[in-house]
């Protein structure tokens, strides 16, 4: 099967037009007319993931994060990005990224995380436009039952296998409406508060972001990788729904670059 036929399925589910202006989703390395009889799905393309792809014999790696985000001026092997790109080219391994278009599409990343946390009546938090497409950044939903904030955080830590959760003051003490955005979502704290969320779950919060909670809601930082690991299952399901016999592999080498000592 041609690579372009596989990526067309992804883009039908998460159109490239939905990616943010700064993003670099799409085919990053490789020829769209080349053949691939299998694909490896990961969060980030690392050297370990390329090892995995070569061991599997796959010629297509599909990632959430683009391996090239800022323009490359050299390929001298002085950075992990240069080494990965050069190695992929040398070994004829195509690399494709589905990033903020997968974040912004209805039933995309935030919807998948909301489902894992058991939210119901889920809707987009910050719509892309005034229509009712459901596309946009973040989601807000409800828990089936009101929980103590401490209990919700405990359950979230267990469900997502988190090592640590950074959060603001636990006020309010009870949680029913939960907003969330996978990846870096500090820009939606105000939207979460305005939508009536008692708690907002995201990643990459800075020190001053925790003050923005201002007693209106609890903000939680669960970690960037931790919030977006669901991309592997989501991309797998998108492709498998359309290609039932195509060989798909979920990376076992996708790793969190952030380590914790607790």
Q: Identify the burial level of 215 via C-beta atoms within 10 angstroms of its C-beta, where 0-12 means exposed, 13-18 middle and 19 or more buried.
A: exposed
State how far the alpha carbon of 168 is from the alpha carbons of 46, 109, 137, 150, 153, in Å.
Answer: 33, 24, 22, 12, 12
Q: What is the pLDDT along the chain (262 residues), one digit of tens a residue?
A: 999 999 999 999 999 999 999 999 999 999 999 999 999 999 999 999 999 999 999 999 999 999 999 999 999 999 999 999 999 999 999 999 999 999 999 999 999 999 999 999 999 999 987 667 889 999 999 999 999 999 999 999 999 999 999 999 999 999 999 999 999 999 999 999 999 999 999 999 999 999 999 999 999 999 999 999 999 999 999 999 999 999 999 999 999 999 999 8
C-alpha 19/C-alpha 25 separation (Å) is: 7
Predicted local confidence at residue 129, as pLDDT: 77
Considering the entire predicted model, what is its pTM? 0.96
pLDDT at 133: 82
Dist CA 99 CA 19 (whole Å): 7
User: Nearest-CA neighbor of 41 among 106, 4, 95?
Assistant: 95
Q: Is 226 helix (H, G, I), strand (E, B) or coil?
A: helix
Give, in degrees to the nearest 5, the angle at Cα 10 between 118 and 229: 40
Instruction: Report pLDDT for 243.
Output: 94
CA–CA dist 8, 247 (Å, integer) = 17
Q: Give the strand pairing for 26-29 and 94-97.
A: antiparallel
Helix (H) and strand (E) counts for the chain?
Answer: 9, 11
Name the burial class of residue 118, with classes exposed (0-12), middle (13-18) and buried (19+) by CB atoms within 10 angstroms of its CB. Answer: middle
The single residue listed with the structure tokens 């359950």 is 155
pLDDT of residue 134: 85
Domains, in order of start, for the chain = 3-102+229-250 (3.40.1390.30), 106-221 (3.40.1390.30)
Got the DSSP string for 117-158? TT-EEEEEEEESSSSSS--EEEEEEEEEEEEEHHHHHHHHHH
How many Cα atoms occupy the beta-carbon half-sphere of 119 within 13 Å?
A: 28
- Interstrand relation of 199-203 and 174-184 (parallel, antiparallel or unpaired): parallel
Question: CA-CA distances (angstroms) from residue 122 to 50, 130, 141, 246?
Answer: 36, 18, 4, 32
Burial class from Cβ neighbours inside 10 Å (0-12, 13-18, 19+) for residue 60 reads buried
């Amino acid at each position: 099967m041609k690579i372009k036929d596989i990526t067309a399925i992804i883009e039908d589910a998460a159109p490239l037009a939905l990616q943010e202006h700064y993003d670099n989703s799409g085919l990053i390395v490789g020829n769209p007319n080349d053949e691939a009889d299998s694909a490896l799905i990961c969060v980030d393309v690392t050297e370990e993931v390329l090892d995995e792809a070569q061991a599997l014999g796959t010629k297509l790696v599909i990632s959430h994060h683009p391996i090239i985000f800022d323009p490359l001026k050299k390929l001298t092997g002085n950075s992990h990005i240069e080494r990965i790109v050069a190695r992929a080219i040398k070994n004829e391994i195509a690399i494709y990224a589905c990033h903020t278009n997968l974040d912004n599409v209805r039933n995309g990343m935030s919807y998948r995380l909301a489902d894992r946390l058991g939210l119901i009546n889920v809707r987009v938090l910050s719509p892309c436009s005034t229509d009712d497409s459901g596309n946009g950044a973040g989601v807000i939903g409800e828990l089936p039952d009101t929980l103590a904030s401490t209990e919700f955080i405990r359950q979230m830590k267990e469900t997502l296998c988190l090592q640590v959760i950074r959060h603001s003051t636990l006020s309010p003490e009870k949680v029913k409406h939960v907003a969330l955005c996978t990846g870096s979502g500090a820009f939606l704290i105000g939207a979460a508060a305005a939508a009536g969320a008692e708690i907002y779950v995201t990643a990459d919060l800075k020190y001053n972001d925790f003050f923005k909670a201002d007693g209106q809601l609890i903000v939680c930082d669960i970690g960037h990788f931790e919030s977006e690991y669901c991309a592997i299952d989501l991309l797998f399901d998108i492709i498998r729904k359309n290609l039932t016999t195509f060989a798909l592999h979920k990376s076992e080498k996708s790793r969190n670059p952030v380590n914790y000592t607790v």
